[in-house]
Amino acid sequence: QEQLDESGGGLVQAGGSLRLSCKASRRAFTYEMAWFRQAPGKEREFVASITRSGRNRFYIPDVEGRFTISRDIDNFMVALQMNSLKPEDTAVYYCAGRSESRGLRDQFYDYWGQGTQVTVSS
What pLDDT tens digit does each residue of the chain (122 aa) get? 569 999 999 999 999 999 999 999 999 999 999 999 999 999 999 999 999 888 899 999 999 999 999 999 999 999 999 999 999 999 999 999 999 888 899 999 999 999 999 999 99
Euclidean distance between CA atoms 75 and 93, whole angstroms = 21
Question: Residue 44 burial (CB < 10 Å; 0-12/13-18/19+)?
Answer: middle
pLDDT tens, 80-112?
Answer: 999 999 999 999 999 999 998 888 999 999 999
Contact 19, 83 (CB under 8 A): no
